[in-house]
Chains A and B, each alone.
Chain A
Amino acid sequence: MWNTGSSIDHQPYSYSKTLAEQEAWKIHDEQSQWDLITINPTLVIGPGINPHATSESFRLIKQFGDGSMKTGVPKLGMGMVDVRDLADAHFKAAFTPDAKGRYITSAHNTDLPGLAKTLLDKYGDTYPIPKRILPKWLVWILGPMINKAMTRKIVLLNINLPWKGDNRKSIQDLGMKYRPLKESMNDFFQQMIDSGLIPSPK
């Protein structure tokens, strides 16, 4: 099953990933010397081997702690996977002889408020973690002004709608075990506090 909803104008990031993977399978199918397995992760979070990695994931979760999202977050659905589990999936895919094809590698179906909520127990009193859900109409109006990638079409088709990914193939074929969402989020957040990426609260 392929992403057929994205295009150069609508969700071009997803579109680029789709085209790249399709090209990889095309190259694979034209030869018989090597095998291909693809690992398709959702939003990757968790501490980095390098605490100052340049990744969109760092940018997003940092905003949960530095106050940029203190007024709230839209209910944007997404899947998430811990970077350590994702590395494990790559290893298992390579060394499981029966592994085959494409693997959705995702631990949990969640959304932005759901991700933020996991931080409240430990950090809610000291850091400006977003607690409110921004209404869809407000995101529709302001979204494109704040973030060029957040088009009105994306708002209409994604905000307040559930996001579902099926990770069963990764569990059955590769024996994947996914750690809890809260553990990934808290380990990640703590690393960003320790490395100074998230400034200490006033």
Chain B
Amino acid sequence: MTNIDKTKPVMITGATGYVAGWIVKKLLTEGLTVHAQPFIAIMQTLKKHPMVFLQKKCGIPAHRLIINPIPIQKR
């Protein structure tokens, strides 16, 4: 029996991917706050990404989709 507090943010891994993209949308439209951490390389395409679109189109306030880009570690 686990109750998850919907006022707390949710971290989604792989948020720019095929499945998680729809999960992010679902969470945002249900009123939750989402943290995503795409690789910086993906950020360039993310500017045109429908997830960012979503903020404007569905009236999702920007503070509910928090994007923290992460650099790829050099070996």
Q: CA A87 – CA B51 in complex, angstroms?
A: 15
Closest to B24 in A: A49
Select one of B10, B21, B30 contacting A50, CB under 8 A. B21
A61-69, A89-97, A171-179 - interface stretch = A89-97
**Which of B19, B26, B49, B51 has most A Cβ within 10 Å?**
B19
Q: CA A192 – CA B27 in complex, angstroms?
A: 25
| Contacting residues, chain A, for B27 (C-beta < 8 A) | 91
The A/B interface has a contact count, at CB < 8 Å, of 55
A84 at the interface (CB under 8 A from B): yes
Contact, CB under 8 Å: A53 / B17: yes
A83 at the interface (CB under 8 A from B): yes
| Contacting residues, chain B, for A86 (C-beta < 8 A) | 19, 22
**B contact residues, total (Cβ < 8 Å):** 22
Specify the main secondary structure of chain B where it touches its partner. helix
Contact, CB under 8 Å: A97 / B25: no
A80 at the interface (CB under 8 A from B): no
B50 at the interface (CB under 8 A from A): yes
Within 8 A of B (CB), among A62-118: 83-84, 86-88, 90-91, 94-95, 97-99
A44 at the interface (CB under 8 A from B): yes
A166 at the interface (CB under 8 A from B): no
A49-B51, A50-B49, A97-B3 in contact; A91/B18 too (CB < 8 A)?
no
B33 at the interface (CB under 8 A from A): no
Select one of A53, A88, A95 contacting B4, CB under 8 A. A95
Q: Could you show 27 A-B contacts with beta carbons less than 8 Å apart?
A: A35-B2, A48-B18, A49-B22, A49-B24, A49-B50, A49-B51, A49-B54, A50-B16, A50-B50, A53-B17, A53-B18, A53-B21, A55-B17, A57-B18, A58-B18, A83-B18, A86-B19, A86-B22, A87-B22, A87-B26, A90-B19, A90-B23, A91-B23, A91-B27, A91-B30, A98-B1, A99-B2
Interface residues of chain A, those whose CB is within 8 Å of chain B, are: 35, 41, 44, 48-50, 53, 55, 57-58, 83-84, 86-88, 90-91, 94-95, 97-99
Identify 13 new A-B residue pairs, CB closer than 8 A, beyond the known A41-B19, A53-B18: A44-B19, A49-B51, A50-B21, A57-B18, A83-B18, A83-B22, A87-B25, A87-B26, A90-B19, A91-B27, A95-B4, A95-B6, A97-B3
